[in-house]
Amino acid sequence: MLVASRLLVVLLTLLGVGVSSAQSFGESLAWLRMDTEIVVLSNGDLRVAETSVIRFIEGKYSFATREIDRRRLVAVRDVEVFEDGQPLRFKLEEAEGDRLRIKYYFSRPAVDEQRTFTLRYTVSGGLRYYPDGDQVYWTAVYAERGGFAVQNARVTVRLPGNATAMGIEVYGVEARVSGQNEGIIVAEALSPIPDGRAMEVRVRFPHGIVGGEPAPWQYQEDVVESRNALIALLLSLLISLGGMAAMIVIYYRSGHERGRCQGGEQPSLASSEPSPELVAALIEGRAGVRAVMALLVDLARRDVLKFRERSRSAMGGLMVISAWEIVPGERMAEAHLQPHEQAFIAALGVNQGICYLSGFQDRLGDALLGVQDAIDEAMVQAGYYAYRPNWLRAHYRGFAKVVIIAVLLLVAVALNFLTDDTKGYILYPLNSISLICFIIYLLSYIIPLRTPKGNEVYKSIKNIAEYIKNINFDGNALDSFYILYKYLPYAIAFGLEQVWLSKFVGFGVQLPHWYTIDPPSPAQNHARSEWNDIERLERGLCRLHDTLTALLCNPLPSPSPTNDEE
């Protein structure tokens, strides 16, 4: 039983000399220990004995008071007070808040000495009765002690007859507990108990061993607890369902594709249509490897760049890797470039000479990350996103992390300081909040976060994908060459470059002027002798994708090319 109690040390001196508040509530005494013994009687009453050992340091003291909260019991009777086995005079008074005040007088004034006092009383209606086990639930060390810490505390519960403890719990302090499945239970605090903190003990034992029945306050409290538990459960469900509904709304309103766009005819690429790198970023939800690769190929198609693939030996000749050289195209000087395209050119360093994709990984990784941010910013400027996807997703994740950490801290506080009766009221809603935040954290990686305009553009560009997948081309070689390289950057953006290139096998399409391959070694030449230009381009794009992936996802330093490579 939870009893909120208070010791008010009202210290009077003899000879008419008053004691200052600093003496009364400062270092005027030391509460060395408090031992509480609770005996469960056969009729269900509790016989309580509280023994306090106090060292008086300053002043002269002649009496003390103890207040017992009666809201969770029926009556307190058979009060006795002793000092060293000798009875003390006391009187009972009514106190505010349905409290019983016991004021007892010392046999002689306490002056600079250690004294031991024992308060005994019987509690009726304090035992809790439940079918799965009756409970002794008592505040053994009360919280309000006039500013004094209890240095040592021990609680002993003695069960009646052959009753044994089915469960033991101590709240408010860390304690060493013994007596599980026994009739005598002992809990000893492991550290001093500061003023304002209580030590509560709950012992459950089999129902039907003692007489009595639940007190009226228990019925009322059980009804309140059931109602509060229902409210906590409904609140948890409301948080869970409402949070999930809100996330579904956010997910779909932020641009999730709700229907598949159809297409089969050649779409028109008007000037208002997004460029290939923006298409890739819209598809992926951010500017990734395909966006950078689509931008590189599109700039090459527009004669802004050219690149050449060269074979290099690695690991002592055990393997051959591709090295890429990127140089300015014929139209670089006159091309009208968007800010993110200019950032890409600057990151490559092509405007200052030849760029080696495999030779500057020590600096290109970070530079290309800046290009990805520039592409994301271009989508914001085009109205496809309200914020840069990575920035907003990082804020979603940050919000979820902060709330989850706060919830974990609150759960830790609840587990340590709340009773089982009240933990559920807090833990149910907190668990729902943490679940919602965890889902937000996971969804932050996949939520499109597009604006309505971005969503419409996203659905419209799917026509290009359908065209790339479904076209059955039967034109002449010139038309084939034009259409192939016109839509190749978009095919890369959709990850359909192999599907797109396979449609032009047999049309005599040659490698574009902006992509050249150094003559292979004899061994490589034998392996590639049967390849046509389409197959060479397809494999070259695969190797380019691998190179860009290594640069963007795991940039590692590599040596700069030597003159003999040029």
DSSP string, 381-444: HTTSBSS-HHHHHHHHHHHHHHHHHHHHHHHHHHHHHS-HHHHHHHHHHHHHHHHHHHHHHHHT
Residue 174: the pLDDT is 92
List C-alpha distances in Å: 477 to 265, 406, 438, 481, 539: 20, 65, 55, 6, 21
> Would you say residue 519 has pLDDT above 70?
no
* Cα–Cα distance, 83 to 155 (Å, whole number): 20
Residue 318: the pLDDT is 60
Residue 131: the pLDDT is 93
> Would you say residue 78 has pLDDT above 60?
yes
276 exposed, middle or buried (CB, 10 Å; 0-12, 13-18, 19+)?
buried
Chain segment 151-196, per-residue pLDDT in tens: 999 999 999 989 999 999 999 899 999 999 999 999 999 999 999 8
Residue 113: the pLDDT is 92
> Would you say residue 7 has pLDDT above 50?
no
Residue 11: the pLDDT is 33
Tokens of 59: 């002043």
> Would you say residue 529 has pLDDT above 60?
no
Residue 270: the pLDDT is 47
Report yes or no: 550 and 556 within 8 Å, Cβ to Cβ. Answer: yes
Residue 395: the pLDDT is 82
- The fold of the 5-214 domain, in CATH, is Immunoglobulin-like (2.60.40)
Neighbour order of strands in the sheet with 99-111: 5-8, 60-69, 99-111, 90-95
> Would you say residue 276 has pLDDT above 80?
yes
Residue 33: name the closest of 116, 111, 91 by CA. 116
Give the pairing of strands 75-83 and 114-124.
antiparallel
Give the pairing of strands 29-40 and 150-158.
parallel
Chain segment 448-503, per-residue pLDDT in tens: 677 888 888 888 888 788 888 887 766 555 566 777 888 889 989 998 888 888 88
Chain segment 387-401, per-residue pLDDT in tens: 887 787 788 888 888
Largest pairwise CA distance in the chain: 123
Straight-line distance from the first to the last Cα atom of the chain, in angstroms, rounded to the nearest whole number: 88
Residue 254: the pLDDT is 56
Q: What is the 3-state secondary structure (H, E, C) of 121-185?
A: EEEECCCECCCCCEEEEEEEECCECCCCCEEEEEEEEECCCCCCECEEEEECCCEEEECECCCEE
pTM score, whole prediction: 0.51
Question: What is the residue-averaged pLDDT of the chain?
Answer: 78
> Would you say residue 269 has pLDDT above 70?
no
* Cα–Cα distance, 341 to 345 (Å, whole number): 6
Torsion sign over Cα 537, 538, 541, 546? negative
Greater pLDDT, 217 or 537? 217
Chain segment 214-266, per-residue pLDDT in tens: 999 998 888 887 787 777 778 777 877 877 787 777 666 655 544 444 444 55
Residue 194: the pLDDT is 93
Chain segment 80-117, per-residue pLDDT in tens: 999 988 999 999 999 888 889 999 999 999 999 999 99
Chain segment 302-360, per-residue pLDDT in tens: 999 988 887 766 555 565 666 778 888 888 888 888 898 888 888 888 777 777 776 44
Residues 197-201 have a mean pLDDT of: 93
Report yes or no: 102 and 119 within 8 Å, Cβ to Cβ. Answer: yes
Element (H, E) at 538: helix 533-553
Chain segment 427-450, per-residue pLDDT in tens: 777 778 877 888 787 777 766 677
Report yes or no: 441 and 400 within 8 Å, Cβ to Cβ. Answer: yes
Residue 533: name the closest of 490, 480, 491 by CA. 480
- Helix count and strand count (H, E) for the chain: 13, 19
